[in-house]
Amino acid sequence: MEQKKLGIIGKNISYSFSKKYFEDKFQRLMLKNYAYDVYDLQDLSGIENLLETPDLLGLNVTIPFKEKILPYLDELSDEAQKTGAVNCILFKNGIKKGFNTDVYGFEKTLLLHRKPSHDSAIILGNGGAAKAVQYVLEQHQIPYITVSRTNDLNYENLSSEIVAKHPLIIQCTPVGTFPNVDDCLKFPFEGITENHLIIDLIYNPNYTSFIKKAAEKGAKTANGFYMLEQQAEKNWEIWNFR
């Protein structure tokens, strides 16, 4: 039986959700010939060797390599090209093709929770995950502004008035991720009301400091777990049925 190797590349990812998720899946489907490995890399210096691993079917890519991996790939899907970020690679017929299934996962999350009144957004962060969020908002014609440390609009000058005018807020930075669960972005929470929808893409912990503070103001909140499950299922479909 031919071996099928999957895995994830990222930095400091010993906690990886994906390994357990896919190993549980192999068990449920009784797939003895699949394996899922964690490649915890400090940088991409040896990546060419890894990408030539025999029997490699697919890889997940996570922080901080979603954008840096692009030059090593042969092809990009439409959404990977437009976002400039890849979180899923398919190895087929000697071609390494990059996809962005964060787009799919975030869209499913947004459609599950959004009301028509959530008609303009603030995106916190400007990395690979934020690029997927920007893409989805553009597809749904939801105007947005982006806040990041290096933008004109940053965490020092974001006001509660601006927050009050944007009922959809998506937190795309890793601030508050396990083990640094008490960390929280500097943010004018007094601008948040019960009309707000707050989506924090972090899934570990379930409730970040950011989500807790937003919930105290009566906002509807969602974390990144559903997005993570949905993008994982999309990855599985790409690896096995493309």
- Cβ atoms of 184 and 214 within 8 Å: the answer is no
- Exactly one of 66, 96, 131, 234 is catalytic; name it: 66
Provide the token pair at 41. Answer: 């890399």
Rounded to a whole number, what is the distance in angstroms from the first to the last CA of the chain?
A: 20
How far is the C-alpha of 137 from the C-alpha of 111, rounded, in Å? 11
For residue 10 the two structure tokens come to: 């990222």
Alpha carbon 159 to its chain's center: 26
Q: Is 32 a catalytic residue?
A: no
Q: Which residues are the active-site residues?
A: 66
